[in-house]
Amino acid sequence: MLTRFAPSPTGYLHVGNIRTALVCYLYACSCGGKLLLRFDDTDVERSNVTYIDSIIEDLKWLGIETNLSFKQSERFERYNEIFSSLMKEGHIYACYESKEELDIKRKMQLKQGLPPIYDRSSLTLSAQQKEQYERKPYFRFKLDENAIISWNDEVRGEVKFLVKNISDPIIKRTDGSYTYMLPSTIDDIDYNITHVIRGEDHITNTAVQIHIINVLKAKVPKFAHLSLLHMGEDKISKRKGGLNIRYLKEDGLEPMAINSYLAKIGTSDVIKAQTSMKSLVESFSIQKFSAASVKFDLSDIYRLNAKILSNMSFESVKERLSSMQSSDFWYLIRDNIEKFSETEKWWKVCTTNIKTVIIDQEFIKLALSLLPEEKWDENTWIKWIELIMLKTKIKRNDLFMQLRLALTGLDKGPSLAKLLPLIGKERVILRLGDN
């Protein structure tokens, strides 16, 4: 079994891309297969080596391992060979309309209630008429309009297309560059791709590619089309500025929080925080994915992230902490952070001069006067509270909240009994006394 992930290096990977890459990886692993990474960089002007490097880096960070990779820009000679062969056989033909002329044709067809299918007018041009065009031609693949293309989609079941309802796809642009269609099909054939997993926006492309594969007398792979992710009313995609993985990484999310969510969203499985790819592989089945619309909620990933952090040992995060941040500090704050970067917030609470909040000045003066003198440990808080309770009628919950705000400036956080020794007596006196 061999599948492939084929991003275009024209931007950073977004969550929709990553979901596809992750499903491809889990599918390959669950079948003992392999994953090929292909860079669809035939659009030379828009492709950028910086994005290629970032894609490789982001996949590695997420734990998505690939077995081999290549760039389509390295295979133009092969594409030209197949192109010339198909041209000679009459499967590809030259077209001369400008973009503006094609737009007018589409608008006229839609106005008449007709599907915006290319009318093949270029096929009727004489050699003399073609010579009169000053512009260079672009090229389309001539589909068999009497054909019916169908396949058993591993997510959507039987899918069927009447080819007469599909425009002859553009294969090569006027500048000589290839569109997605032909190179992708040739690559799948040459590399013996057995399974193609991608978004539902490629369904029509699949019908065309199957048609081309049949013309080239090659074996058709199995196809699975995942529903696109939706955030609100918009589908998440790179062109619409979908959330890129670089943003999530820089914001402090753990890779397994992202993987745990994207591997299960749109399936019948309960979404839980997983700590390893192994568990995701073991529970994977492409049949679990639904063809129904899928809602993406970033807050769900942050909830999973908090759960993962709360179970991480000091040894697993030691290298990410500063040398001053001890195991006591980590185990104290790990249940109170949503992302790892928040450790700095709590470190500042424990070690720096911060702005706090005083609700009742007289109460704080009283609390300050009752601070225990002996060596501070986890019992200090209990002793302190007992002394305060003897001197005031403030309700216990209000008392706790006032002290938390006065000591940390925050209305929630780790146990004050454990936090107090880390803040230290001198800093506690300073915070209460300055107010």
Annotated binding site: 238
* Residue 199 to residue 7: CA distance in whole angstroms: 12
User: Which residue ranges are tagged as binding site for ATP?
Assistant: 238
SS3 for 219-248, per residue? CCCEEEEECCEEECCEECCCCCCCCEHHHH
* Residue 163 to residue 146: CA distance in whole angstroms: 7
CA distances from 3 to 147, 212, 364 (A): 27, 19, 65
Identity at 347, one-letter amino acid code: W
- 296-333 as b/e: b if 16+ CB within 10 A: beeeebbebbbbbbeeeeeeebeeebeeebeeebbebb
Q: Are 258 and 339 in contact (CB under 8 A)?
A: no
Q: What tokens were used for 3?
A: 């599948």
Pairing outcome for strands 195-199 and 222-226 = parallel
Helix locations, 263-297, DSSP H: 277-282
Identity at 309, one-letter amino acid code: L
* Residue 112 to residue 126: CA distance in whole angstroms: 28
* Residue 270 to residue 99: CA distance in whole angstroms: 48
